[in-house]
């Protein structure tokens, strides 16, 4: 089966948190059961990575690393951000508001950590979002 969902990790060279996030996602996917997902990395210090970051239009550049789940866009022949089934006005600082994804919360509460549990929950949310239409 060809992956229908892509996890794009936005990061930069020399960023330890970016490397940790990348390893955590790779480890989760390698564990099996996530065949509909593939991972891509966007280095925001390259032209291509910065362009991908800008097209995403939903991540705070001060909150890297971040991950965004994309769905295959059959008509356009590429990928597009996967909308949340319901917008997230809860104020949970790590969650993206309109799309399925996470960004790093550097506050005292978030401590700059995107945990394996948060990643798993986000991927499960992506699965659920694919099964039901978006609602406001």
pLDDT tens for the 136 residues of the chain, in order: 688 899 999 999 999 999 999 999 999 999 989 999 999 999 999 999 999 999 888 888 889 999 999 998 877 668 888 988 766 555 566 777 788 999 998 887 878 889 999 999 999 999 988 776 554 4
Nearest CA-CA partner of 38 in 76, 67, 75, 74: 67
pTM across the whole model = 0.87
Domain count, the chain: 1
Q: Domain range for residue 16?
A: 5-131
Instruction: Please report whether residue 43 resides in a domain.
Output: yes
- Residue 136, in any domain of the structure: no
CATH number assigned to the domain comprising residue 90: 3.40.30.10
Joined together, the tokens standing for residue 118 give 């948060």
129 pairs with which residues across the strands? none
Sign of CA dihedral 74, 75, 76, 80: negative
Q: H helices of the chain, where?
A: 16-30, 47-56, 116-131
* Residues 104/112, Cβ–Cβ less than 8 Å: yes
């Amino acid at each position: 089966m060809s992956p229908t969902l892509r996890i794009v990790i936005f990061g930069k060279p020399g960023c330890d948190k970016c490397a940790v996030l990348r390893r955590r996602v790779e480890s989760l996917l390698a564990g099996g059961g996530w065949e509909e997902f593939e991972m891509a990395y966007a280095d925001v210090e390259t032209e291509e990575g910065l362009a991908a970051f800008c097209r995403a239009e939903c991540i705070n550049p001060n909150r890297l690393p971040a991950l965004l789940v994309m769905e295959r866009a059959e008509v356009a022949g590429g990928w597009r951000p996967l909308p949340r089934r319901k917008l997230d006005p809860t104020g949970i600082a790590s969650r993206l508001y309109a799309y399925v994804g996470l960004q790093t919360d550097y506050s005292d509460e978030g401590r700059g950590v995107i945990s394996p549990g948060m990643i798993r929950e986000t991927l499960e949310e992506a699965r659920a979002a694919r099964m039901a239409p978006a609602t406001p």
